[in-house]
Amino acid sequence: MTVRARSPRLTPRGAWLAAAPLAFLGVFFVVPTLAILARGAQEALGGSIPWSRIADATGTTAVLASAATLGSLVLGLPATWALFRRSWRGARLAVAAVTVPFVLPTVVVAAAFRAATRGAAWASEEPGVWLVILAALVFFNIAVVVRIVGPVWAALDDRTYWAARTLGASPWRAARTVTLPALSRAIAAAAAAVWLFCSTSFGVVIVIGGGRVATVDTEAWLQTQQFLNLGAAAVLGVLQIAMVATAFALAGLLARRARVAPALAAQRDAPRARGARERVVIVAALVPAGALLALPLVTLVVRSLTTRDGIGLGNYRLLLTEGALGGSGTTAPQALGTSLVTALAVAVIATVLALAMATFIAARPSLAWLHGALLLPLGVSSVVVGLGVLLTLARPAAALGPDIGPRLLIPAAHIVVALPLAVSVILPAVRGIDARLLAAAATLGAGPARVWRTVQWPLARRATFMAAGLCAAVSLGEFGASAFLARPGAQTLPTLMFRLLGRPGAENVGMAFAIAVILALATAAIALAADPSARPARAASALTSSAQAAPDRAASAGRLS
Amino acid sequence: MSGLEVRDVTVAYGAAVAVDAACLAVERGQIAAIVGPSGCGKSSLLGAIAGIVSYTGTVCWEGQDLGRLPVHQRGVGLVFQDGQLFPHRTVVRNIAYGLEATGVPAPERAARVQELLELVGLEGYGERGIDELSGGERQRVALARSLAPRPRVLALDEPLSSLDAALRARLAVDVRDILRDQGTTAIVVTHDLAEAEVMADRILTMEAGRITGERAG
């Protein structure tokens, strides 16, 4: 008689909430991915598969990802120490600056490195181009190392370090025997994430390497676009999924072996930098990472402003002309329009689906594993998403009409990529609402729908808008899936930029750099608008206090704060 | 019988039985206190009466089983130990919440909110934000918010225990007077016998998930 696990229904939790998000992911992710697996298996047994090329691509991917992981740790860890273990004027700004690459589209970063090495012969030949790709991958992933390791390092109780020092350990020895083991779990997590990002980094490799450097992702694209061998592409897709699964398994293993739970301090103020020597060390720790981050972006801006007639807006003006077609049948303003409309649609649809999903999962603790399952699209490369959609949905979409159907595929693929991120942002906010607050609303006579509208939604609204901004930024910069699905006459800004970069002539390259700058600015603006930490909290509190004089505004201000 | 009747109510969390076939009855307009050590199941019993915790057994009001009604239609108010005021609403909008939910028209709503603000001694506090209130003020708002939609029964879960001793003694008297004034049928859960004696007409003792006895308040 005592068996009753389910709690009474206070908030919306009907299956209908999960139906739309799951159906969407089913059609646009699960079925396409299964189609790749089936097609890949079938072709591997009997198709004409260029096995040696595939083996080369797999090797290249593993080597590049491993080297880039190592490089990110080597540059990222000293920078993390300087940013999180020592306080100095401008440190917080520097943290923000270091994490900027995180939000930059891959194609923008790739274009920046193209700009930085333009004219250097070594950079376009075999060993040199690898180095440039490596540098670009490290550029991205320093931010990952800093973001994952930084908070753990900042919270580390340094009394254990000092205990080692009083026992006779030198600073280096204490760091190696005390600090490093305490950070091992965070470092392992960061390394796994970096490796994953690098091994699925399509945009950087294809934009910098052209066709010369083939990874699993870029080879799949080449097989699709140039050799029209969808079977080989499917085999590569299967490989990609297998590599990601292996990486996840290894990361899990690493995390379990790094068994040291770090001792965390209650007080978390980093000590002030003291002494000239320590200041030198801080500078030395930051310069390599700082230079790698700043130089390409600066050169990108400079090159975008460089024309045959000197410095000016010539490249930007050219974008407005027919010269910007890039052989694609799309002008830059058209591509900008497509990108913006797509980003808006993706932000709205992915966020609404994610909000429904988060409400559903938060109300059903027994289904918490669904969140993990929802993260799967994040794991596989966006190339797999694009290829899968192309394999399964290109024909049904064309049946909708040549003008409409194919245009829907890019936003759909973007939503697949953005939805897991949106759920990850919104779910903690919905879960974070005290269950008793919901119970209070219910005992006051509010049914589930009203509880959602008057309590859950106001308290999750901020995270929801953040998620929307994130989705828009992701869509704006998305390249992997778009490269498979973009058609002549319907390019997005990143795919148009890629086409321009691939064409001869200084003007085309100059226009590509101009597009990259526009993309970077647009993405940064969206990220800044959506991130509440960028918005001064003071404005909200000022609103609240001034609202006391005006009762009718109090409610809205109260909601803001 | 008239009033609230709880029969054989059992609350279990997995294998752990928090409330074990508890029975009690509270007359209409009466204030009953449940006193017992922490962990004896008092809060779970209140949760069952309010309907926010799953239970077996029956909870009846005026002979009608509330078991089939969802939480928001039971008419049982609940005051939490830490208030659980809505952080995104002002004092007025907190108190008005239940009136909005039950569809009370705006003019009537405003009048009722004003009446309750006066009742709990917080005139002029209406437009304040929740974070501008002291602990005692918050509990007064929580009480006013729960009383506003005129619940059949008001359940109070350690309503004063988060406050300091002097304030607690004063508020205990206030709460009793307010509940009497409104003629509210109420169950107060507390671990403080002296507080129970001030607030309640009857005192029930609870131990290990069961109502074990009764003493006059």
Q: What are the tens digits of pLDDT across the range A98-121?
A: 877 777 899 999 999 989 888 777
Q: What is the pLDDT of residue A170?
A: 84
Domains and CATH numbers, chain A: 10-42+337-490 (1.10.3720.10), 56-302 (1.10.3720.10)
Distance, first Cα to last Cα, chain B: 22
Distance of CA B52 to the CA centre of its chain: 13
3-state secondary structure A506-538: HHHHHHHHHHHHHHHHHHHHHHHHHCHHHCCHH
Question: Does the beta-carbon distance from B97 to A4 stay under 8 Å?
Answer: no
Please give, one letter per residue, the 3-state secondary structure of A261-290.
Answer: CCCECCCCCCCECCHHHHHHHHHHHHHHHH
**Residue for token pair 């995180």:** A102
What angle, 0 to 180 degrees and rounded to 10, lies between the N-to-C axes of helices A51-84 and A216-225? 130
What mean pLDDT is predicted for residues B41-64? Answer: 93
Q: Does pLDDT of A355 surpass 90?
A: yes
Radius of gyration in angstroms for the set of CA atoms belonging to chain A, rounded to a whole number: 25
**A438, A372 Cβ separation under 8 angstroms:** no
- Taking all residues of chain B, what is their mean pLDDT, rounded to a whole number? 92
Contacts of A10 in chain B (CB under 8 A): 52, 71
Residue A274 — very low, low, confident or very high, per pLDDT cuts 50/70/90?
A: confident
B124 touches chain A (CB under 8 A): no
Q: What is the pLDDT of residue B71?
A: 92
B-chain residue closest to A438, CA distance: B84
Tell me the H-state helices in A226-269: 230-257
- Judged by average pLDDT, the poorest of A373-377, A403-407, A545-549 is A545-549
CB A103 within 8 A of CB A421: no
Q: What is the rounded CA–CA span in Å between residue A192 and residue A198?
A: 10
Question: For the residues A530-536, what does the mean pLDDT come to?
Answer: 51
Does the pLDDT at position A1 exceed 50?
no
Question: Looking at residues B84-101, what average pLDDT do you find?
Answer: 94
CB-based contact A459 B127, cutoff 8 Å? no
Q: What's the CA gap between B212 and A245, in Å, rounded?
A: 58
Q: What is the DSSP string of A311-331?
A: ESSHHHHHTTSGGGGTTTT--
CB pairs under 8 A between A and B: 119
Indicate the residue of B71, B84, B86 with minimum beta-carbon distance to A8.
B71
Q: How confident is the model at residue A279 (pLDDT cuts 50, 70, 90)?
A: confident
Contacts of A442 in chain B (CB under 8 A): 51-52, 70-72
The Cα–Cα gap between A279 and A285 comes to 10
Within 8 A by CB and 6+ apart from A336, the residues are A493, A518
Q: How confident is the model at residue A262 (pLDDT cuts 50, 70, 90)?
A: low
Nearest to A443 among B17, B78, B128 (CB): B78
At B150-192, the pLDDT tens digits run: 999 999 999 998 888 888 888 899 999 999 998 999 999 998 8
Identify the band that residue A548 occupies on the pLDDT scale cut at 50, 70 and 90.
very low
CA dist A416 and A382 (Å) reads 9
pLDDT of residue A478: 93
**With the C-alpha atoms ordered B86, B90, B92, B93, is the resulting torsion angle positive or negative?**
negative
Q: Which residue of B has its CA nearest to A553?
A: B127
Q: How confident is the model at residue A126 (pLDDT cuts 50, 70, 90)?
A: confident
pLDDT at B178: 92
Q: Which residues of A touch B87 (CB under 8 A)?
A: 459
Q: Give the model's pLDDT for residue A460.
A: 94
Residue B89 confidence (pLDDT) above 90: yes
Q: With a cut of 90, say whether residue A185 has pLDDT above it.
A: no
Please indicate whether, in this complex, the C-beta atoms of B89 and A555 are within 8 angstroms of each other: yes
The pLDDT assigned to A157 comes to 79
Kindly provide the ipTM of the predicted complex, given to two decimals: 0.90
Instruction: Test B129 with A561 for CB contact under 8 angstroms.
Output: yes
Of all residues in chain B, the one with the smallest CA distance to A544 is B129
> What is the domain partition of chain B in residue ranges?
1-75+151-217, 87-150
Q: Which of B13, B17, B72, B184 to mutate to test the interface with A (most CBs of A within 10 A)?
A: B72
Compute the half-sphere exposure of residue A373: CA atoms within 13 Å on the CB side of its CA.
13
Neighbouring C-beta atoms of residue A308, cutoff 10 Å:
9
Say what the pLDDT of residue A552 is: 33
pLDDT at A110: 92
Percentage of chain A lying above the pLDDT 70 cut: 89
Using only C-alpha atoms, what is the Rg of chain B?
Answer: 17
Return the pLDDT at B215: 78
**Residue A464: what pLDDT?**
94
B56: phi then psi, degrees, rounded to nearest 5? -115, 165
Average pLDDT on A513-518 reads 93
The region of weakest confidence among A1-10, A246-255, A370-379, B197-206 is: A1-10
Question: Which tens digit of pLDDT belongs to each residue from A380-435?
Answer: 888 889 999 998 988 888 888 777 777 889 999 999 999 999 999 999 999 999 99
Chain A: residue whose CA lies nearest to B76: A443
Mean pLDDT score, A480-495: 88
Give the pLDDT score at A108: 93
Residue A544's pLDDT is 33
CB contact under 8 A, B12 and A447: no
Question: Measured between alpha carbons, how far is B175 from B198 in angstroms, rounded to an integer?
Answer: 10
Question: Which of B4, B6, B11, B5 lies closest to B54, judged by CA?
Answer: B11
> Which CATH number, 3.40.250.10, 3.30.70.240, 3.40.50.880, 3.40.50.300, labels domain B1-75+151-217?
3.40.50.300
pLDDT band at A561 (very low <50, low <70, confident <90, very high): very low
Contact B90 A436 (CB under 8 A): no
d(CA A196, CA A288) in angstroms, rounded, equals 23
Q: What's the average model confidence in pLDDT over B183-205?
A: 93
Q: Which region among A220-229, A464-473, B10-19, B69-78 has the lowest average model confidence (pLDDT)? A: A220-229
pLDDT tens column, B18-37:
999 999 999 999 999 999 98
Q: What is the DSSP letter of B191?
A: S
pLDDT of residue A323: 62
